[in-house]
Structure 1
């Protein structure tokens, strides 16, 4: 099956469930898009209710009421573009038919077209021909501009961050605490402790086992060291 259909001036992207022309867009649900796709594939033929339900809802069992409501929503969306045409006809007790006797349809793959083009109607005497207004260059310029702006903002943020980092962590220690450096096995341990607190040897032995350049805060609460 094709993923793109053209009903006169209206394009239907079945993959996205999108009906659109040069002025407006209508978005269908997944189920509604499946129903319309099958009716387009079988245009002017009667498609039974059971076949429509099986195709649109796949492994889910639904009632005729659900199908009727979905068809009504599709008709409402199509009426935006074709206010005077009843494109989907009801075949009582049987199913539905996409009646395109007055509305031509073409079916095509659109990979070769520019996805960023906008189709604009020309004068009436040109028929269904349209001109495309390429927007790719404009989008590229905007995209590059946003990229450059992002890089500038990141650079400025980094500059402010490093400018404000403290040169010496001791400048930010509370007045009730002091900070010292102890070197063990080639690693420097920066220790923050209460001013009158003497680090016991067993704590120093524990820190000596830590093979990292780290900052520790040591305090004593009762008989416990934190």
Structure 2
């Protein structure tokens, strides 16, 4: 079985249990993965509810309500795509619609992501892990005072009541700063920039989970709209 599926600008990675566009990535649970695979195997075709329930929950009896909730979660996950849409077919079921199927989208004003640039951006995530480890874990007691170490290239700032870890050399875009300022989420933020590609990590303290985003300035409005 193939480990990756593509549908227009969307990549479904079964092994990672995620969907991504190269700039943004969303995680799926096991049943959502099975369900989305069924949609991809039957793209642009109407699938009835019973078939979907059997595909998403093999040998398990589930309700239409459970299916509806999972479909809604899939819709939120694939909202990162500009092309793919999950449609409800009233009284029948659902259909995964690929509006740009087979077409190669070219936008002259948008710089293409290449493997080297993405690799460099990915290293930022590694840096984040190292920085957080150094700040929260690699500490020592000296003269009864707790001394924590933070890499010299990074700094903590406060935006409203939110704590933000950022590269000193990175200027947070005003639109992103405004979004963080008005956010009601009990979250910790990390912002960095590598060759025009920004990294945003949002850690939810309540659920102890994080979401990671890669974006360019021209895709920032869409990300802000998505994060609300």
- Which TM class, normalised by the smaller chain length? 0.3 to 0.5
TM-score under structure 1 normalisation? Answer: 0.46
Report the structure number with the largest CA radius of gyration. 1
Higher strand share goes to which structure?
Answer: 2
TM-score, normalization by structure 2: 0.45
